[in-house]
Amino acid sequence: MKHPEPRCPIRPTDPCSLCFPGASGPQDCGLVLLVREDPDLAEEWARLRREAAQERRRQPH
């Protein structure tokens, strides 16, 4: 059975590449924590996610 590959919350189209030293996945990634805790970064991240979701809905299946 294949294990699910964790996705990067910051770059949702990419798998977690363990780009933050010491991270074992998105759950303990310092970059993810930084973005979620900074109000300006969190707002920009949410905007980008909304735009990406809208784009996915526009694409034919």
pLDDT value, residue 52: 82
pLDDT value, residue 61: 65
pLDDT value, residue 38: 94
Question: Is the pTM here over 0.75, yes or no?
Answer: no
Assign residue 18 a region (left: φ > 0; alpha: ψ between -120 and 50; beta: otherwise): left
CA distance 61 to 51: 18
Domain extents in the chain: 24-56
Is residue 16 classed exposed, middle or buried when 0-12, 13-18 and 19+ CB atoms within 10 A define those classes? buried
For the chain (61 residues), the mean pLDDT of every run of 10, in chain order, is 79 82 87 91 90 84 65
CA distance 30 to 3: 24
